[in-house]
């Protein structure tokens, strides 16, 4: 306890909060009960815990969430999950870039910066909100996933699917998984699959990528407005062709 009150770290702060609350209760009552553990029954991580965990994992798999969001959703199921922990903030901040780096050798920002080009067809995009016939919007060009090709998407699917398989397997076997383990599992899986693992934040910032994409879009938008054929335009042409 003495060490916990002297050390200055996130974990120490959490310990001090817990210790102060627990000691106060002991002084007042003369005893301390772990209400949450009592509610769980004989085991903190009983069968009910893993059954619910399995259900939530399968719900994540079936969801329409983005690739990296499914991985962060699994991380959030950690037995010791704390949204405010530095480890959580680090994982959430890097997981998207780790996936993009693994399959393209570029971070999300680097991919946007290198791919956004007003001179290219569809500004270099392979997907956008109103594809394939709708207009490309400014918001579309700032999304890294919109520049990935079909092979990249298949690779992302396989990586995320393997991560979900691991989560489901551990839940079925009643294995408790903590935050640090989920973060390590992602790195180890990428290494075992011979994917490069991102070691830094990349050479292009998110702001630089966003500004570059916005500049290219302003040039592209003029050409798009000039060449765009709406559903109304198509219908008019179709009717004129009947005459």
How many CB atoms neighbour CB 184 within 10 A?
A: 11
Confidence of residue 110 (pLDDT cuts 50, 70, 90): very high
Measured distance CA(141)–CA(164) in Å, rounded: 29
Contacts of 69 (CB under 8 A, 6+ apart): none
Among 212, 219, 190, which residue's Cα sits nearest to residue 118?
A: 219
Q: What is this structure's pTM?
A: 0.75
Among 22, 40, 38, which residue's Cα sits nearest to residue 30?
A: 22
Percentage, residues of the chain above pLDDT 70 = 84
| Spans of all domains in the chain | 1-32, 33-242
pLDDT exceeds 70 at position 170: yes
CA atoms within 13 Å, Cβ hemisphere of 65: 17
The pLDDT of residue 112: 98
Measured distance CA(91)–CA(76) in Å, rounded: 11
């Amino acid at each position: 306890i003495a060490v916990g009150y002297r050390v200055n770290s996130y974990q120490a702060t959490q310990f001090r909060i817990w210790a102060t609350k627990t000691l106060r209760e002991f002084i007042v009552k003369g005893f301390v009960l772990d209400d949450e553990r009592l509610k769980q029954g004989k085991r903190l991580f009983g069968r009910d815990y893993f059954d619910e965990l399995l259900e939530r994992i399968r719900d994540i798999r079936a969801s329409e969430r983005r690739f990296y969001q499914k991985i962060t959703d699994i991380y959030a199921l950690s037995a010791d999950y704390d949204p405010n922990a530095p480890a959580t903030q680090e994982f959430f901040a890097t997981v998207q870039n780790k996936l993009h780096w693994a399959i393209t050798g570029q971070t999300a920002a680097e991919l946007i910066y290198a791919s956004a080009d007003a001179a290219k067809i569809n500004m270099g995009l392979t997907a956008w909100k109103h594809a394939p016939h709708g207009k490309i919007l400014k918001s579309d060009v700032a999304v890294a996933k919109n520049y990935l090709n079909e092979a990249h998407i298949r690779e992302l699917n396989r990586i995320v699917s393997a991560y979900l398989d691991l989560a489901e397997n551990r839940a079925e076997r009643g294995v408790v998984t903590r935050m640090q383990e989920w973060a390590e599992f992602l790195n180890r899986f990428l290494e075992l699959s011979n994917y490069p693992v991102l070691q830094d934040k990349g050479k292009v910032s998110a702001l630089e990528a966003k500004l570059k994409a916005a500049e290219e879009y302003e040039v592209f938008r003029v050409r798009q407005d000039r060449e765009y054929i709406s559903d109304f335009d198509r219908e008019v042409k179709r009717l004129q062709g009947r005459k």
